[in-house]
Amino acid sequence: MTLTRTKYPTATDSEDQKRGPTGGTGMKLIVPLQGVVQGRGGLLLGSLIPCALFYFLQLYLKRNRSSNSPSNPSSPAGSSSNLTELQRSSSRSNLSRTGSIGRVRVSNLASSLAKPNDSPYYIGLDKVSQDSYDRLNNPNGIIQLGLSENKLCLDLIERWISENLNHSLIGNDVTLSINAIATYQPSDGMEKFKVAMSNFMSQMMRRSVNFDPSNIVLTSGATPAIEILSFCLADHGNALLVPTPYYPGFDRDVKWRTGVDLIPVHCRSTDNFTLSITAVEQAFSQARKRGVKVRGILISNPANPVGSLLSRDVLYDLLEFAREKNIHIISDEIFAGSIYGSEKFVSFAEILDPEDVDKNRVHIIYGLSKDLSLPGFRVGAIYSFNKNVLAAAKKLCRFSSVSAPTQQLVTAMLSDERFIQEYIEANQKRIRQIHDEFVARLSQLGIKCAKSSAGFYCWADMSGLIRPYSEKGELDLWDKFLNLAKINITPGSACHCIEPGWFRICFTTINLEDIPLIIERIRNVVETCKSSG
Amino acid sequence: MRVIVPLQGVVQGKVGLFWGSVIPCALFYFLQLYLKRRHRSQPPSPPPAPSPEATSPPPSPLNSSEKLHEVSVLPRTLSRILLSPRGVSGPVYVSSRANSIAKTGDSPYYVGLKKVDEDLCHEIDNPNGVIQLGLAENKLSLDLVQDWLEKNATGTILGEGNCRELNISRIAAYQPFDGLMRLKVAVAGFMSQVMEESVFFNPSQMVLTSGATPAIEILSFCLADNGNAFLVPTPHSPGFNDDLRCRTGVEIVPVPCRSTDNFNISITALDRAFNQAKKRGQKVRGIIITNPSNPVGNLLNRETLYSLLDFAREKNIHIISNEIFAGSAFGNEEFVSMAELTEAEDHDRDRIHIVYGLSKDLSVPGFRVGVIYSYNENVLAASRKLARFSSISAPTQQLLISMLSDSRFTHKFIGINKLRLQKLHNLFVAGLKQLGIECARSSGGFYCWADMSSLIRSYSEKGELELWDRLLNVAKINVTPGSSCHCIEPGWFRFCFTTLTEKDIPVVVERIRRISEAAKSHA
């Protein structure tokens, strides 16, 4: 300040400070408000006043914008539902303020979800639902090989239910049982259901691991289980690593409502699409460079769609990686009981030392949709060692709880260990049989499948049939399958596979007798491709 | 002069006016930007932390806010110092929303429910246990549901007939996430029936969810973005706050209703709350009403509904009308659904969304069936997709299709249930009246909304909670204090009478008498 004062008289002659018409050499107009501030606290006020003005300008703009957008939503939502938006904004200008009956705004999430599906996975499913194959009624309909359902052992389930339904639902003591199905139940599942579920999980994994019922949270399907875990492990804007190719539903389950992003870790056909830690490291450090916080890695084991199992070594490497980066591991083991190969399945729960603090970072997803062929029942499970995650997940189950009659029914079914054992064996045998047959027939057509030992799919390499060798060529071929050959399969691009030309073919929705027809339909496509090429 | 204004030396002469204003502004802008970034990166991790700390849990927010897990936090921070970055095995980050979700549930409402769980009153086994008057369940007519199930359950789930394969597929295979069409038709019929056929519901405007709780959450995901707000008249149902806010990030702006109006909604209060929210910079996207209201139990009349609609139109916001108690209206007043209004107002329906469920009116909360009924195509399309996270189990759907299609059963059930509700309500209100406790006038729902302000020692929330504590621990009855319902006036309590039988009422009244006499003698 003293500096200012002393310099002030010497700066320029005082005439120049008087209002002059032009600022040619004069200083008067150089800085706004100089006239006001000169002399006294010049330095302070000279900087404060423009800043303050600027601040108020910002504030004004901000408020203006925020009060604008609810009534005139064309900017945020404009891109989403173009036709309706157009009407909205043009009609608004004609309206008086009081009678503003423009269309009311919906959230950004809703306007993006309201758009029709554009992924081939969902287009295929929609198309099948309109024109589904039936041996007698619609022999030219589309054969569904895109939905991951297992219908091979429904007869066993059916028999059990028809024998036990009355007993399991209504029970022996009638007065007690109405309270057990009609009234409020714990939203994360009844205690006895958890016990039955944990026991069933061990049985599915051949007793190689014990699951503690108190670490289980039951949800209405594996879909909400994955979403709840994403809510609990990552905040808006964080990300999870996920090896590709992956289950097409992850994009919806993880990303839609949580605001969590998925970062693909590409696996290659040269490794039979096995996860490599180097690729994981690379994806992790690239994400970090972009400023994205990676909170975990989401793996499916057995892998969907490839059907390979992760070996014990890979699991240890992953755990080591997660420890080093201090991130979570979500292991989706929903196919754990649908093993048909000779390899042994190793659950993530199995490699954890009970004393290890690292078990806090491991979370397992399970469900009855695949291994017990009951997707309609909507039963999923989160198995976690992390008390905080369990506490939060239990509360979030209010939004995704399992219906009590289903809980009773399933508890009784899962507790019937003899039935379950019989079911597992029959199921694995039947999957193996149809898998081997299907793969053999495909290979006769010159289509090779990735080596697999679990799950409901063939992951088939049709890159020889596509032209050009790109996603476009793949989608052209997919389109031919759907519209000419009338079979719905899932293109690799829907699974985010980095190599074009791979397709996921689900074989558990068909019978052995259907295979010749399907192979015939595929042959047609193969031949048209070859003759045109 | 050179130093009077910063940078004058640089800019003097040439385009002084321009640079002299731009440069300080730019500097200020960058300062703001810097502060903002610093501020933003702080909560997830301390700013200057490249590798080891970046992934560590945020110590400050945890320590301050996370009282529940204090014990686990303490060793965490300590141990980190001892570890080399190579072997970082500190506890892994849990999202901040998970931490805040895990923390909720310490309100008296949940504390009471937990206490009942541990020490539930039972006629023979535990006659001195806590009597449950806090959970919104109706057990008055469960016998009817039970009779029906005994007769029909097996056939309904698997279906009749010999085509076995088809039958198992209808429960085992994937079904549409938003509910089977046949169930939607049945539910639409049931809704019309409980509203005395005053309105027709179109099944194609319906999305079924696993309970009304996810129905409301899905709607708020669809109508509001993170940080937007809903106006909600208070008192509202306890727990509503947490349910709505925890994942959506939506805010609730309470609109206080007063005992002098029998807790009816006033448009003036709505308007005031709306304007205040706007001044705070909050964007209000809608109003959430409960009709018949929970906890008070009054019905909104046609005029109020029309003025609500006008208000919503004027502000261009949505209305979510929770009509889950529509079939439990037992008084003489007529229940008017929001859907009835839309039949006249053709052009402006897409701001109206109705929530319904079978938990209250059919007394089957365990079945987890909720309904979104909307006139807005975009909202319906989005809700159908979001229903994948909250879908209803297929066996339950099959069971309900048969149950709700049996119109003789539903007709009988609705009639008998209303009579029983009314009878028990009258008895309970009379019992409280003997003690000098008045209830708000109500004609629907499972509750008495009782004014016990004369019994509280200090006219404040603290006094109310003291009384609640005595009721729970001394008198051994679990009721819900008004503060859990965000009631603005202290001393009101919600009594749920539908878990009782007639002969329980004298016991409950006797237990309250002890407290009220102690309170009076104390005064």
Structure tokens at A222: 């594996």
ipTM rounded to 2 decimals? 0.80
Question: In chain A, what residues touch B364 (CB-CB under 8 Å)?
Answer: 181-182
State the CB neighbour count (10 A cutoff) for residue A149.
Answer: 22
Measured in angstroms, the CA of A155 and the nearest CA of chain B are apart by 7
Residues 306-365 of B with CB under 8 A from A: 313-314, 316-318, 347-348, 350-351, 363-365
Which single residue is written with the structure tokens 């110092």?
B81
Q: Could you give the angle at which helices B407-434 and B504-522 cross, rounded to 10 degrees?
A: 30
Closest by CA to A191, choosing from A20, A394, A345, is A394
Measured in angstroms, the CA of B440 and the nearest CA of chain A are apart by 27
Measured in angstroms, the CA of A323 and the nearest CA of chain B are apart by 6
Question: In chain A, what residues touch B382 (CB-CB under 8 Å)?
Answer: 106, 109-111, 113-114
Structure tokens at B250: 């939506």
Torsion over CA: A309, A313, A317, A320 (sign): positive
**CA atoms lying within 13 Å on the CB side of residue B159:** 16
Please classify residue B287 by burial: count the beta carbons closer than 10 Å to its beta carbon, then call 0-12 exposed, 13-18 middle and 19+ buried. Answer: buried
Contact A391 B102 (CB under 8 A): yes
Assign B62 to helix, strand or coil: helix
Q: Which of B55, B154, B278 sits opposite A325 (nearest CB)?
A: B55
Assign B428 to helix, strand or coil: helix
Tens digit of each residue's pLDDT (9 = 90 or more) over B241-255: 888 888 999 999 999
The DSSP bridge pattern shows strands B251-256 and B229-234 to be: parallel
Structure tokens at B4: 């009077």
Closest by CA to B417, choosing from B326, B346, B508, is B326
Contact B44 A293 (CB under 8 A): yes
Contact B20 A30 (CB under 8 A): yes
Closest by CA to A370, choosing from A148, A102, A220, is A148
Mean pLDDT of B291-311: 93
As a whole number of angstroms, the longest Cα–Cα distance in chain B is 102
Structure tokens at B365: 């909360």
State the CB neighbour count (10 A cutoff) for residue A266.
Answer: 16
Tell me if chain B has a CB within 8 Å of the CB of A146: no
Lowest-confidence pick of A133-142, B227-236, B378-387, B442-451: A133-142
Kindly identify which residue of chain B lies nearest to residue A59, measuring between CA atoms. B281
Tens digit of each residue's pLDDT (9 = 90 or more) over B91-107: 788 888 888 877 776 78
Give the H/E segment covering residue A178: helix A174-181
**Contact (CB, 8 A) for A394 and B125:** no
Which single residue is written with the structure tokens 């059930």?
B413
**Contact (CB, 8 A) for A221 and A410:** no
Q: How confident is the model at residue B341 (pLDDT cuts 50, 70, 90)?
A: confident
Q: Radius of gyration over alpha carbons of chain A, in Å?
A: 31
d(CA B125, CA B121): 8
Specify whether the backbone of A90 is left (phi greater than 0), alpha (psi in -120 to 50) or beta.
Answer: alpha
Residues 300-329 of A with CB under 8 A from B: 322-328
pLDDT of A176 reads 53
Contact B157 A165 (CB under 8 A): yes
Measured in angstroms, the CA of B127 and the nearest CA of chain A are apart by 19
Share of chain B above pLDDT 70, in %: 82
Instruction: Report the Cα B341 to chain-centroid distance in Å.
Output: 24
Q: Which of B3, B12, B20 sits opposite A32 (nearest CB)?
A: B20
Lowest-confidence pick of A152-156, A160-164, A190-194: A160-164
Contact B223 A106 (CB under 8 A): yes
Q: Which of B20, B98, B175 sits opposite A231 (nearest CB)?
A: B98
Contact B95 A43 (CB under 8 A): no
Contacts of A432 (CB under 8 A, 6+ apart): A340, A341
Tell me if chain A has a CB within 8 Å of the CB of B146: yes
Which single residue is written with the structure tokens 């008086």?
A96
Q: Across-strand partners of B417?
A: none
Structure tokens at B60: 């400050």
The DSSP bridge pattern shows strands A362-367 and A380-384 to be: antiparallel
Kindly identify which residue of chain A lies nearest to residue B87, measuring between CA atoms. A324
pLDDT of A40 reads 55
Q: Which residues of A are catalytic?
A: 247, 332, 334, 370
d(CA B391, CA A477): 34
d(CA A78, CA A332): 37
Question: In chain B, what residues touch A31 (CB-CB under 8 Å)?
Answer: 5, 8, 11, 16-17, 20-21
pLDDT of B154 reads 65
d(CA A62, CA A505): 52
* B66 pLDDT more than 70: no
Assign B170 to helix, strand or coil: helix
Tell me if chain B has a CB within 8 Å of the CB of A480: no
Rounded to 5°, the CA angle B8-B11-B14 comes to 135
Structure tokens at A94: 């004609």
Interface size A-B, in CB pairs within 8 Å, comes to: 376
Measured in angstroms, the CA of B102 and the nearest CA of chain A are apart by 4
d(CA A97, CA A100): 5
* A104 pLDDT more than 60: yes
* B492 pLDDT more than 90: yes
Mean pLDDT of A368-389: 94
